[in-house]
């Protein structure tokens, strides 16, 4: 863990030669005030589950997805994970509507790429949402991230730089 002064020095010492991805990566690490442990960073390369189970991994992956203009996938997946933890019916209804409005409906601000059958199924369930009303869409988005975004993340300069930094600890 870095103290405030050391953190600021690390953030300020970035070279202009670093890519945008590297700058964003360092921004995440500076915000967290720490370096990710080497075993944690290496585990992200083993499976998307390891990456998504780690808050730091989520932040780094979100930054990567932002560079590809597809952060809505992770944000939707995380919103669904939070939604499943809701137990009160009134809270579940408002959360379901919020998720639908932000991610699912056509022309939503962060519209996810799902088929019209799944979109319609969710729309029909909004009046009385169940804990699993987003499961099908969440599985589709997870599959998209696992098979498309995640392999690109592992090859990205962002992940490679973080892996190199972690190995130097």
Distances (CA, A) of 164 to 10, 38, 56, 110: 16, 9, 16, 33
Question: Average pLDDT in the 102-121 region?
Answer: 97
Q: Which residue intervals of the chain are DSSP H helices? A: 4-12, 20-32, 38-44, 48-53, 55-67, 71-83, 89-99, 116-125, 135-144, 150-155, 157-167
In the predicted model, what is the mean pLDDT of the chain?
84
**119-162 pLDDT, tens digit each:** 999 999 998 999 999 999 999 999 999 999 999 999 999 999 99
Rounded to two decimals, the pTM is 0.79
| CA distance between the termini of the chain | 12
Torsion of CA 98, 68, 36, 151, to 10 degrees: 110
Q: At residue 103, does pLDDT exceed 90?
A: yes
């Amino acid at each position: 863990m870095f103290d405030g002064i050391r953190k600021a020095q690390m953030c300020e010492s970035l070279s202009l030669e670093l890519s945008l991805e590297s700058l964003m990566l360092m921004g995440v690490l500076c915000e967290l005030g720490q370096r990710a442990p080497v075993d944690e960073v290496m585990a992200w390369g083993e499976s998307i589950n390891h990456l998504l189970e780690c808050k730091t991994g989520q932040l780094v992956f979100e930054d990567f997805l932002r560079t590809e203009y597809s952060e809505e996938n992770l944000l939707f997946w995380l919103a669904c994970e939070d939604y499943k933890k809701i137990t009160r019916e009134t809270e579940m209804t408002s959360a379901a509507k919020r998720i639908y409005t932000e991610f699912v409906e056509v022309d939503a601000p962060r519209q996810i790429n799902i088929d019209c059958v799944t979109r319609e199924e969710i729309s029909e369930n909004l009046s009385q949402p169940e804990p699993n009303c987003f499961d099908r869409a969440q599985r589709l988005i997870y599959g998209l991230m696992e098979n498309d975004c995640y392999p690109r993340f592992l090859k990205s300069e962002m992940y490679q730089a973080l892996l190199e930094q972690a190995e130097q600890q």
